[in-house]
A and B are shown apart, each in its own frame.
Chain A
Amino acid sequence: MIPIRYNVRSLVVRKTTTIATALGVGLVVFVLSSSLMLSAGIKKTLGVSGQDDVAIVLRKGSDAELGSVLDTSAVNTIVGGPGVKHDGAGKPVGVGEVVVVGALEKIGAVGVANVQIRGVTPDGIKFRPHTHIVAGREAKPGSDEVVVGLRIRGRFKGTELGETFDLRKNRPVTVVGVFADEGSSYESEVWVDLDTLRADYGRAGSLSSVRVRLDSPAAFDVFKAAMEGEKQYGYLALRERDYLEKQSQGTSLFIGVMGTLISIFFALGAMIGATITMYAAVANRQREIGTLRALGFSQGSILVSFLLEAVLLAFIGGAVGALASLGMGFVHFSMLNFASWSEIVFGFEPTPGIMMTSLGLALGMGLLGGFFPALRAARVSPVAAMRG
């Protein structure tokens, strides 16, 4: 009932206080939004690599490819399982790979980072339809040429196109290509020829995992039953999607929990700031409020008006904070993925849901913070309009 322009102009008139309070709310929203975006980014990076019709087989009892050891002969058993797709030539579509962690020297920072290194077969890139070479070429099978993911390139010594680094002492490998995979975790890996890696790392005769392409996503259950049914094999079969989700769970949960905890603290602090501001506003405008009451505006309309003012204040701050957090979309974050003990580069993933949540937080802060001051405003007696 009381026109909104009254609230808007009142906010503008006390510029400094309004800006300080809005800034506080904005910071809160920024932090919450960013951590939610990082959490989503982690899920996306790890999840995007997964295909619906791909199943991955690991050693039972292992959590990740890194901790799984299969015998080479396992490949035949696994790709011979029910539901596995066959290509035009009648060959089953599947790849067996070895995954290890190697220490690469950082450029521009002191020390080494643990990077995931994958021993692949020539089918490795073909098996993954979203992976393609963006610079250079594929490595020659059986050679000591390697391709590196987009996020590896140039971040470590010897990982630029054409450079070499040591896979182990006196065993240099040359980077002949760079590949991209839609921002997935593969982009933080180095891909070496399977046999070269096995020789260099003493893993002859073993694999970390076998991936197969199924006839259809529905064929998974039969496949899984067959793989896990034979107890002596000791296999664990997962949809690739589920496997990757498990990989990201710990890390993304960690970030999500930390971010939420921190935001709650922040929110409390900023809310108190907003409350103090609104109380001061009410105190300063006693005469105005008394006048409005004298003119006949009801207590309810005063309450609503001041509540609206608080919400408006919070919303402005929140909108600025949310917009600023969108800028994080250009930032990349290198973090240890707890499941694989290697570093993966994550991005911040803005989603409409996150923006809604963040703005919702701002609104909530305005409502909660502004409630009691608005109540006090509504209680101002019309007599306050008179002198004294």
Chain B
Amino acid sequence: MSEATTEAGTKKESASGAIQIQLRGVSKSYERGGERLKILSELDLDVREGSFEALMGPSGSGKSTLLNLIAGLDRPTSGTITISGKRIDSMSEGELARWRANTIGFVFQSYNLLPVLTAVENVELPLLLTKVPSNERRKRAETALRVVGLEDRKTHYPRQLSGGQEQRVAIARAIVNDPAIIVADEPTGDLDRQSADEILALLEKLNTELGKSIVMVTHDPSAAERASVIRRLNKGALE
């Protein structure tokens, strides 16, 4: 595990918690047009509990692929991934789905809110995977919206919200189940500077106040600044 430096050269405290995410010898290849493309080669990675990690690298470096693997959206071609003691590379589709619902909160670049549901309904969605009764669900969703400051927009549809507001709703959805890890893929990619800053501040809050681990892929140097660890990927390997 390396102590990262930001572009300005100052060191930030790296998290001191136990190792939460552990990758050993992880490779990922795809078949495309008859050819085998190797995206990641024999990666080793440790992420500590409570860490705020930024993954950076040029286009095609495999950072999104790495994120997908950590989030349990995809499986490695070889190698092991252990998260909080569980080997997720060997879980079945069904087990992975349940694991994701309990462990991961997602923030996507294009927000990915369901257009036919209102803000509060979108936030409630992950709770449907639990045994929480319906009135309790509604309350928790509203609470999550309050955390991101959008409770007054709870009956609005995504098309009635600005980009920044949509992303905040998405973040509320990401935390409503109280997951241990938040996975964010270019969360500010589609936003203007001001909205981007708001989002990043939120993420920081989730990390420092609520203790959630965050793994974030980003191009944006100011986003990377907020992280406690910066990792660079190039041609499928960590630098």
Contact = CB atoms under 8 A, between A and B. Distances in A.
A9 interface: yes
B115 A383 contact: no
A6 B114 contact: yes
A13 B116 contact: yes
Contact of A385 (B108, B173, B189): B108
Contact of B94 (A6, A292, A294, A298): A298
Given A295-B101, A295-B125, A387 B185 contact: yes
Nearest to A9: B116
Contacts of B99: 296
A50 B98 CA distance: 66
B97 A10 contact: no
Interface in A280-302: 287-288, 290-299
A356 B114 CA distance: 35
Interface string A285-323: 001101111111111000000000000000000000000
A291 B117 contact: no
A5 B99 CA distance: 26
Nearest to A8: B116
A111 interface: no
Contact of A294 (B106, B115, B116, B117): B106
A5 B134 CA distance: 15
Query: By DSSP majority rule, is chain A's interface helix, strand, loop, or mixed?
Result: helix
A382 B112 contact: no
Contacts of B126: 295-296
Contacts of A385: 73, 106, 108, 112
B216 interface: no
A343 B4 CA distance: 96
Interface residues of A, number: 27
A3 interface: yes
B100 A296 contact: yes
Interface string A1-34: 1110110011011000000000000000000000
Contacts of A288: 112, 114-115
Interface in B79-127: 93-94, 97-102, 106, 108-110, 112, 114-117, 121, 125-126
B185 A296 contact: no
B74 interface: yes
Given A6-B116, A10-B116, A296-B100, A387 B128 contact: no
B185 A294 contact: no
Contact of B109 (A5, A6, A381, A387): A387
A386 interface: yes
Contacts of B110: 287, 387
B108 A296 contact: no
A12 to B, nearest CB: 8
B41 to A, nearest CB: 20
Contacts of B121: 3, 5
B67 to A, nearest CB: 8
A82 B97 CA distance: 81
Nearest to A298: B97
B128 A294 contact: no
Contacts of B53: none
Contacts of A2: 128
Interface in B122-172: 125-126, 128-129
Interface of A: 1-3, 5-6, 9-10, 12-13, 287-288, 290-299, 381-383, 385-387
19 contacts: A6-B114, A287-B112, A288-B114, A288-B115, A291-B106, A291-B108, A292-B114, A295-B173, A296-B101, A296-B129, A297-B129, A383-B68, A385-B112, A386-B64, A386-B67, A386-B108, A386-B109, A387-B109, A387-B189
